[in-house]
Every structure is written in structure tokens, then in C-alpha cells.
Structure 1
């Protein structure tokens, strides 16, 4: 008699900070069914409860330090003391069970806090802020969504300036596009056009035609909106 495979499975995780081992949940990819992908790469799923984003950040129940697979194992000088001070009053909490959106929001907030205390790359912090904005979009909390879209845009802009996205999965063109799209979503239309134009005119645009097409589509959206407003 075959055992029915469940969507969630337990994964052993070693805390980057305290180095204790704990279990956290992960979602099997075969159960993930995509419904729609938004222009900032937010993904809607056919089953809202089977959302891999809920389990992207692991939270150590022993010390409270939270991390994702994008974190480096290196702790810059002085950061361990700062982290220890921040989490000194941590009461043991288990995030290793099935999560609802509220649990995922708490985990991501801990992930952002941990990343900032650890002085992670801006591209990593920006990614966490963007994912938190997506969770707020999921529950229609527009004010909080905009708040974290702004934070994501700021960190991505710093990442581009400092080129700290090198040796990650983020590409030059994808980062430029994301900065532009986040500007568009928070209402900075002129800045958005500047970044979309940089994607469209990029010297390596032939390598990522899908990103170029997305930038062109968003650029046209802004121009159409501006033309409509001008005729009112």
C-alpha cells in the first residue's frame, strides 16, 4: 500500500547564528500550481494555502535568528554582538509547522530584521522586502504593501549602485527592470520611465528579451496613462 505524498515536508536547518539544528517546513514543488504572475514577479497560486513564499524564511526557535537560502554564512565584524543583543529576550517560538499568511508575515519580518543586523547584501534585503509586500498584497493591505515596495526599491537601488548583486541570480537587466517597476507601483512615474528606458536600450538586451518586452509594456502603460490624464 503506497503512502500518499503530502504537500509539506520537514527539512533540517542549521541556524547560521547559534548553529543549533531545528526543523522547518518546505513545500514540494509538484504541489505548486501557478495561477498568474504579476509585473513585479509576484506569483498568485491556484491554491492560496500552498504558497512556497510562506516557507521561504526559516526561523530558529532557539535564538530567533531568521534566514533564507539567499543569506551568506559570513557575519561581518561586530554583527554577532548586535544580533545577540537584539534577540536576548527571545522566548522560544516554533515556526516549523504549517503556516498561514500571518505566520509568513512574522517570519519575513524577522528575516528582514536579521538580514539588516547581519549587514546582508542590499539585493538580499530588497528581495525580502519585496516578498513581504507581496504577502500584504495577498491580504489586500495596500498601505503596508506600498511601504515595503518602497523599502524594496531603495535597497535594490543601493544594490545597483554598489553592484552587490554580482554572483547572485539577479541580473543587471532584471534589477534595472525591478527598480523601474517598483517606482511605477509607488507612483514615481518619471523615475520608472528612466529605468525602463535603460532596460530597453541595454547593450545586452538580446540576452533577456522577455525582460525587455516587460519594460516596454510598462513604459507604454505609463505613457498611455499620462496621455489620458492630459486630455481630462
Structure 2
């Protein structure tokens, strides 16, 4: 059996295993306000930030989703200007052209209604904020890589909510945008070098039912002489999972029919030699 680099999602019941993520009184002392200037309207606002020593990693999933205890950094990964409605993943928040700022003013700020955000965020609020960020990216025609990471983090929030249907839908969108980014944007993509991006594309294919396609991406990594050893190990593990699941999968009616035809042809061939 290959050694697994990651835990599978079923290894941990998110709510049952990480109840501390819902203990808001315990989380309040771990947060502080960070002063941010909105690049759209110029308003100064407070963005919630987590003290670096506060969160604890519990598990890592094979698509790079990290499971935390006590407090979850993903919940605070989107900054929102409550004055104008501009929202983006925090690392990308200041990176806005004047043209994009004008588009946001026209298409988002003109319809924006200020909201009262609580002191401590939960998965549902985080999901709302990720969707608002994604709306901003769509409005300004952001690069595929920006939409890709946003869709991926939305999928992770649905995973925490144990909503597999919406998780899969979001993973499909993430896959589509990462694939577009891979072919049209220079590396690094979302901070990932080429082979890490290739691995993630393969893994998202595996998770969305495209096992045969994922094998192509994992194999390209394994046959490369320049791919890092760690990425090769990850690709090998996931390739083995695809093969194991294919072996365990019951044959479809078409596959059964084709096998019968092959058996009949074999029997006919042997019958000629016996005559």
C-alpha cells in the first residue's frame, strides 16, 4: 500500500471533530483589527486578522485544504469594504487598477447596502464573503487564476458544511479556471510553481469524477525529470487511488457486453485450432 501524504475528507468529521471552530468566545481574544485603505473609495476600515500563533493545523486534504482547530484562517481570508462593496481575497485586495475601480463603483457600489458584520466569523459568513469576492472578480474580468482560487476556497467552505453537491460544483469551476490559467498565465499561478499546479489540476479531476483524465496529469509529473520529489510522491499516491477505485468499480453494461464479445471471439478462435 502506498504511503498517503494527505488525509481523505472522510477521515475527519468537521463539526464533530472540530467543535472548537464554533466556540466564538474562545476565538475573540485571537483576533485583532487591521487598518485597511480601500483602493476603490479610499475609505479606511478595519479588517479582522488572526494572531499568527493562534491557529493549529489538524489535517491536510489532498487538494491542499488545511483543517484547523480553535480558529479558521479561511474565514477571514476575504476583505470587504463595507462602504462600497469592494471585496477580494486579502493578498489581492490592494492590486486594483483605476479602470477596475471605476467598474466596481458602477456595477457594485451603486447597488451596495452596508452590512453589520459580527465580531467573529463562521463558515456561512465566510461563504458569503467568498461569493462577494468572486462577484467582484467576475465584474472586472479578473484573470482565471484569481477566480480559480476563489472557487476552490468556496468548495472548501462547502466541505466544512458537508454539502458535497455544492462542493463538487465549485470544484468543477475551480478546475475549469485553473486549467485556463495553466495554459494562458505564466507560473507561478496562485503562488504555485508549474508542477504543483499540474498536480492540483489532476487532483481536482480525480475529485470531480474525471479519473482517467487525472492519470494523464499525474503521469506527466511522474515522468518529468525536473518535477520536485515531493510533488512526484503526491502524484504517485493519487494515481494509485485512481487505479484502486477503477479496479473496485463494477463494470457498466457496455463494458460487460464488450467483455462477452471478446470471450466469444476467443472461444471461436480456439475452436478453429481444435478442428
Q: TM-score with structure 2 length normalisation? A: 0.75
Residue of structure 2 in register with 1:179 after alignment: 201
C-alpha distance 33-75 of structure 1, shift in aligned 2 (>3 A): same
Residue of structure 2 in register with 1:40 after alignment: 63
Matched, 1:216 2:236: yes
Matched, 1:82 2:119: no
Q: Which one has a larger percent helix, Structure 1 or Structure 2? A: 2
Q: TM-score with structure 1 length normalisation? A: 0.88
Residue of structure 2 in register with 1:19 after alignment: 42
Structure whose alpha-carbon radius of gyration is higher: 2
State the Cα distance separating 1:97 from its structure 2 match.
2.7
Is there any run of 5+ residues in structure 2 with no aligned partner, and where?
A: 1-27, 253-275
Matched, 1:56 2:107: no
Helix, strand or coil: the match of 1:44?
strand
Provide the C-alpha distance between the structure 1 equivalents of 2:116 and 2:83, rounded to a whole number of angstroms.
9
Alignment of 1:11-160 (within 5 A): 11-47=34-70, 50-71=71-92, 73-75=95-97, 77=99, 79-87=100-108, 88-95=110-117, 97-160=119-182
Q: Which runs of 4+ in 1 moved over 6 A?
A: none
* RMSD value, Cα: 2.1
Q: Residue 199 of structure 2 contacts residue 218 of structure 2 at CA under 8 Å; is this kept in 1?
A: yes
Q: Residue 182 of structure 2 contacts residue 189 of structure 2 at CA under 8 Å; is this kept in 1?
A: no
State the Cα distance separating 1:80 from its structure 2 match.
3.8
Q: Residue 173 of structure 1 contacts residue 202 of structure 1 at CA under 8 Å; is this kept in 2?
A: no
C-alpha distance 7-155 of structure 1, shift in aligned 2 (>3 A): same
Tell me the number of residue pairs that the alignment of Structure 1 and Structure 2 aligns: 223
State the Cα distance separating 1:231 from its structure 2 match.
7.5
State the Cα distance separating 1:70 from its structure 2 match.
3.4
